[in-house]
Chain A
């Protein structure tokens, strides 16, 4: 099995443009969650979201367009033979909304094929790409698949591109489900009331270790384990026992050929909804017993970025392993009992080589990745 490294990364979030801006913003405890100006929120349970500053759609375009430009500029040259895996839950949903409200014919852009073509062309790739839709675990599943492709020698380089925007379509839906928090969200806090949506674009270039060495590309981290499992219990609510997340984590640890005690820290999904966070803590307790490692989540800073969430979190995990530190979990003033002394609003030092990243989504999907620190 070939070793799979993350060799280049790019991102845009409510905390700014670029991985360094995200990392420093997280360490500084900054939050991108603010009053939404994009649409009228008076009929919704919340008016907060983490939007990217000045992200506007061009005429007859989508907000995903400027995001693609920024990510392409940040990432620089990508090998033409890279495979393309895209992770977006709703693609150019803003184009659909505008067309329906205007009573116009639907543009092709509401489908994923044109989006794939646009991304592939912008990066100059030969591969036409594939979009993976696994709800909020989409980019984690895309990264797992990419790692598996490279490890099996079926691809040398894979570009994982994940992006989702804050739209009234999705915002109103989460509001109708009573899943939004009217206040800044509080992942893993005893008083948590729901999530805040966010938007982001993230690109991660994965390649075999040998290819990275040939290209003199120092890796951010190595993906050494991955797993996914379904524990559908309800279409939008997670299984209370966390059995799917537990299975996904166990598969990832097995693939990495390590045991739970070797995990230095966890980057959890941590949406801030009562059920999700409780489910995660149950799964982690089953996995780690009384030895839960330091744990954090970034959605109190950048909101829940849906299909892009996992990609962003893996990027942050790579930085965390390099600097042996995890950012604080903004909003978690009173951690749930299981997370006591393991979750903090302040950054925590960690010690070890491996970090576990997890995400879960509608439809009962759970995914886990194990990252190993690299030299940079």
Chain B
């Protein structure tokens, strides 16, 4: 199975970004800033205000990714799916919800917070905003390479009629007692499509072969390697090697 990487977007300790406007590596440890509505959308958006932090970083990275691919605007719904890998999921929202549940024995349990105690809910927010009708799910598994969502997404593309899929990672900063050494808080999504786009140059071709991922024929070991390779491609193809300042 082969697919084109047509967009990349992220919210990480490195900042908010999209592939064609940045060459600095987005995956790094550190403080995570939660995006506000103004960081994403020009217009007032009450729905965004209701989102929990997990959904905000996930939705923001999806938005930047689609924007990077020139695919944010839509007229007709499109068969694009979303698969995100997460270690901690919406644990922080669960904890916040429990703080509304416990004190008055349920009397003040927040329906709004509860609505986001399923990690896949932000996928619905993304589907709603961007007219996505493909499959949408969150996966949890041990995955030091951070490639699980890409592999799952490639498999999904190979056996469905979806024309593309957004794949990525989403995690808030973990509670200290649960945090792992290799945690990288934030979210990052890639748009994989079965065809290249005419209006932009693709980052390159991703291939799944015998459960191994290859980018432009090079075998991938982890997500950081893939992103670094993609950003180099952008620098050389789009800007003749010159670096564009971060947005």
Residues of A participating in the B interface, judged by any CB pair closer than 8 Å: 40, 42-44, 89-90, 93, 96-97, 100-101, 105-106, 108, 110-113, 116, 128-135, 138, 141, 145, 148-149, 151-152, 154, 168-169, 172-178, 227-236, 243-244, 247, 251, 361-365
Contact = CB atoms under 8 A, between A and B. Distances in A.
A172 B141 contact: no
A111 B87 contact: yes
A113 B87 CA distance: 8
A363 B106 contact: no
A228 to B, nearest CB: 4
Contacts of A232: 123-128
Contact of A97 (B98, B111, B116, B126): B98
A141 B135 contact: yes
Contact of B159 (A100, A152, A176): A152
A39 to B, nearest CB: 9
Interface stretch (B89-97, B189-197, B228-236): B89-97
A364 B136 contact: yes
Task: Give the size category of B's interface with A.
Answer: 35 or more
A321 B137 CA distance: 29
Nearest to B132: A230
Nearest to B113: A173
Contacts of A173: 97, 109, 111, 114-115, 117
Nearest to B123: A363
Interface in B167-225: 175, 177-178, 211
Contacts of A251: 160-161
B142 interface: yes
18 contacts: A89-B118, A100-B98, A106-B177, A110-B91, A111-B88, A128-B142, A132-B139, A133-B118, A154-B155, A154-B211, A173-B111, A176-B110, A229-B134, A236-B115, A251-B160, A363-B123, A364-B124, A364-B128
A173 B110 CA distance: 7
B122 to A, nearest CB: 8
Given A43-B106, A100-B95, A148-B159, A365 B115 contact: no
B160 A244 contact: no
Contacts of A177: 111, 114-115
Given A133-B119, A176-B114, A230 B136 contact: yes
A113 B180 CA distance: 12
Interface string B136-160: 1111111000001000100110111
Interface SS of chain B: mixed
Interface of B: 81-82, 87-89, 91, 94-95, 97-98, 101-102, 104-107, 109-111, 114-128, 132-142, 148, 152, 155-156, 158-161, 175, 177-178, 211
A194 to B, nearest CB: 14
A227 B161 CA distance: 10
A244 B161 CA distance: 14
Nearest to A134: B137
Contacts of A175: 106, 109
Q: Which 7 interchain pairs have the tightest Cβ spacing?
A: A363-B124, A173-B114, A112-B140, A232-B124, A232-B128, A176-B111, A232-B127
A149 B159 CA distance: 9
Contacts of A176: 109-111, 114
Nearest to A137: B137
Contacts of B121: 135, 235, 362-363
